[in-house]
Amino acid sequence: MDATTLSANVEARERATAELRSLVDEFAGKEMDADARSKETNLLAAITDFDGRIKRGIEALKANESIDSLLSGVELGGKRDKGEDVAAELRSMTFGQGKDFAPEFRDLKTSSPGAGNVIPRTLHGKLLAEAVERSTVMRGGANILTTSSGEPMDFTVVTGRASASIVNEGAEIGESNPTTVQRSMGAFKYAYASILSHEFVADEKLDLVGFLVRDAGPALGHGMGAHFLTGTGTGQPRGILTAASAATATYAEGAKDATVSDALIDLFYELPSSYRGQAAYVVADSTAAVMRKLKDGNGQYLWKSSVIEGAPDTFNGRPVLTDVAVPADKVLFADLSKYTVRLAGPLRVERSVDAKFTTDQIVYRFIQRADGLLVDERSAKVLTVTPGV
């Protein structure tokens, strides 16, 4: 999608939104008739469709910019490192040879050509950006920690807050410590293999890098992202939904507007005030569809859509993030910055022409070790929807 088409979709969405707003204002404080409800449903569906088109358009433009940036080159010893050299780096790997793409950024501009290699770090950054975009927890603000290796790391996880009390003059001051538990974070191996024809690798010079970035990044992001949400902590990361404490607020499946909206607002206030300002709702698409239709007592939608790049839709003033890994009966409200993602060691990329020798294909293998942990369990609450009658 080009910029002109994207702009046309934005304008069409604005027209549909204005028409929906007029319809809501017309029936403010009173029940909609059948025709109005049908029109409302159609307008909501149209806005959702436009939102999808706009999001895909923005992602397409961002992807093009990302690849252009990757291939534009950087200064290294006074000469430009062209995109052809990036692709050649990947093509020239011999059987059994691997490349380590370090996560940290390093300024390798130097008067000594060959004193460093900027390609791995550039490629790692682009791959990680793609992975982060596909992981709701990382995209939502999780703390990303990089370590050189994957030895177990012990974390003190806070589960309760310390408190002070009034003490009389000369009286003993009582002790109060936060409630904590010890949890360990390790490194689980996430791997993905991209199989390409020999012709593609040989002929599509610049597109090889772009394809691998867009192919491996999302694959790693989806794999890690699902576990950062719902991982059990046994043989996989402990996800934030697993670690979050159960909320008192709830509603039954199929409940009416006011019951659902009241429960979601109650969930908001169950989270301590120090976390609410940065918290977000994380839900399944089906739950988001229910939330999108909820209204206040004046008939105004509690959901506010946004088409600003990087700005999520909001409900009751807080961002709403959706993820296919979230069960339909769960609503998470959490400060995602309290979740720590550990990327252990470098991203390994290896090339083999032997694995698919009989089909004349080349395999690029991507490996990243990672783990995740909610280090402050007070920062997350999860509402469970009860089965309908």
3-class DSSP assignment, residue 371:
strand
Does the pLDDT value for residue 249 go beyond 90? yes
pLDDT digits (tens, 9 = 90+) for 147-206: 888 888 888 777 666 666 677 777 777 665 667 778 888 999 999 888 888 887 777 555
Does the pLDDT value for residue 115 go beyond 70? no
Half-sphere exposure of 9 (CA within 13 A, CB side): 20
Cα 30 from chain centroid (whole Å): 39
Q: What percent of the chain has pLDDT over 90?
A: 29
> Phi and psi of 5, rounded to 5°?
-65, -40
Look at 33-42, 47-56, 317-326 and tell me which has the smallest mean pLDDT.
47-56
How far is 345 from 367, CA to CA, in rounded Å? 10
Q: Which two tokens stand for residue 311?
A: 């700005």
Query: Does residue 105 or residue 373 have the better pLDDT?
Result: 373
How far is 32 from 286, CA to CA, in rounded Å? 23
> What is the pTM (predicted TM-score) of this model?
0.68
3-class DSSP assignment, residue 337:
helix
What mean pLDDT comes out for the span 71-83? 36
Instruction: Determine contact, residues 267/331, Cβ cutoff 8 Å.
Output: yes
Query: Does residue 281 or residue 34 have the better pLDDT?
Result: 281
Mean pLDDT of the chain: 78
Query: Which residue blocks in the chain are alpha helix, DSSP H?
Result: 3-26, 34-71, 83-91, 118-134, 136-139, 198-203, 207-230, 240-243, 257-270, 273-276, 285-292
